[in-house]
Structure 1
Amino acid sequence: MLADLEELVTCESYSADHTAVARSAHVVAEQGTRLLGGQPHTLVVDGVTHVRWTFGPPRVLLVGHHDTVWPIGSLTTHPWSVEDGVARGPGVFDMKAGLVQMFHALASLPSLDGVCVLVTGDEEVGSGTSRHLVEDLARQCAAAFVLEPSGPGGALKTSRKGVSFYGVTVLGRAAHAGLEPEKGINAATELAHQILALRQIADTVNEHTGPGTTVTPTLASAGSTANTVPARADLSVDVRVPGAAAQDTTDRLIRALRPHDPRASLRITGGPNRPPLETTASEKLFALAEDIAARLGMAPLGHAAAVGGGSDGNYTAGVGCPTLDGLGAVGDGAHADHEHVLTATMPPRSRLLAHLVGALQ
């Protein structure tokens, strides 16, 4: 398993570099072919390379991704290593160890009939070219297992917040900031009012649909020169919601924003990106996983609920497919300098997955 993990980690696969993602997809395809005994379909959508195996009519879907957030050259500063039971390297935790565990789990089964595997190349940037692939397969299946890294201590992920992204553009009017600022319409000032209004939206949604919604202004810019009243300001907004009602309510309120200064104008773009993965989609599969873990002599798995980060599990659950997430690596540091995997956990996690798939074939 460590040799296979090294092979994947040392083939860098930064999401924005489609050539690198294509190289990584080739390595994933070769490794999967060796372990599964079947050739995959390689799918290139808008330049992004995904890999899919299907063994008969699909009943169980396994989902992972091979792209990472680490720019090409990160191996120089974060080299592959295994020391004292800890594997390190770009993307080792999120989520190349999960792919290795998946391949070895499936390789241990006497038959792969009914199994479908999809390894996408753009999950880290929102799954723009793969969402329809994930959803189409999930609609055909009775269960989806997502090989994203586990929660703290190996916990499975039984719910994830839905994700929405918005752009708020304020259009004002330029004027000389020193000679006649009163003739301008200050887009930066208007944007400040909108930021305060967005904070109020989060309070309103949490009051009416329950706690857990966050509305976070992130990137902001305004103006063209230091002595000019800004004619335009732009803001990116990150929204995380615990349920569908909160996502709908937040969307409606953001689209209802109006200028504080009636002379300015607003333009709202974007919207929901990933639906919530709600607990109801995972509760039966989690109970099955806990039962299997006990029979295998593993410690109780535990679960992490209302996880803020999104995954393709949001999409599988969103189309009605029972989904269990966080079945991948045990470790820490996704997207961070201390990203690592505890290697001793890889074989038992692989056995757990094999028994889960076998129970549903």
Structure 2
Amino acid sequence: MPIESIKGRGATRNPIPTRFNLQKRLTEGEWLDSVEALDGVPKRRTTVTIEHPKSILNRNKSPDIGFDRSVNAYRGCEHGCIYCFARPTHAFHDLSPGVDFESRLFAKPNAAQLLHAALSRSGYDCAPIAMGTNTDPYQPIEERWRITRALIELLVETRHPFSITTKSDRVLRDLDLLKPAGELGIVSVALSVTSLDPKTARALEPRAPAPHRRVAAIKALNDAGVPCHIAIAPVVPQITDHEMEALVEAGAKAGARGGFYLPVRLPHEVAPLFRAWLDEHFPDRAGKVMATIQSLRGGRDNDPNFFSRMQGQGPWADLLRTRFEKAAKKYGLPQSRFGLRRDLFQPPQGNQLRLL
């Protein structure tokens, strides 16, 4: 739907999702006629829709993921990372996993109240809650909505263990909450740094903070007593893999408590979006990039199988693992371990959040 300028966005296309028959439903309507009649091509602006879910605690039973529950304050992510494996979730809303995913966002302002109710239930079994597993909890709209902060306030109040995954130094704005959580041993942070080259980072993650700001955030968090790890995730073969050693070194120098890496994943609609992005930004090596990814993924663009989807397979996977292990040993970067205390949890008292 090329009706708005997408300059500055990650995806180069905004294809209509076909898995849920949206194409058929759109062609039966007439609303596109008026859209196409507009003069000019307006700049695409970010919009935020308020969502009112009935629950906020997501459960998973994946054997290759180190948590069984998560909370997502937002749907969609303005960072616009072209490789984001969460892009296909926008198709469930009849929106494109392309530019819509990074510009048509959803916020859940009642997330903390819903989590309060979940933690208050009789028989609730305390285990770490992961934040940022689907979309970034510190994307730009958090500055206004502050939903992530409200969730952290509740988790600190109840001394509930939690982890944060982000690629934004905006996490430092909640240092007043994260520092006491670090002292209690109930929080860990993983900051994603995919490349130290600003040009590459802008192409991959156009609206995420610059790499040097993320590395500085790793240092600031650890200096404040908040255990922060470097996540070299994802590694994009032929584009960022040559930086593996430099990224490990940068994380170690910033005092990262540990580190890990993940090869790029291209599920569902992400694969064609990524291919189009390669043609736009790296036409000289697009074929080589996809050939290497397929060698990691058993001859396919994506491998959905447990364990191998996180590690890859074949010679390229072995090479990445060896390089990471050698670099980690050379620079003294431990393997990430996210042991968090569960014994301090105190269920919420009353029906209201005291810190809100």
Q: TM-score range by the shorter chain?
A: under 0.3
| Rg larger in structure | 1
- Structure having the higher strand fraction is 1
Highest RCO, 1 vs 2 (Cα 8 Å, sep ≥ 6): 1
Given the two structures, how large is their TM-score scaled by the length of structure 1?
0.23
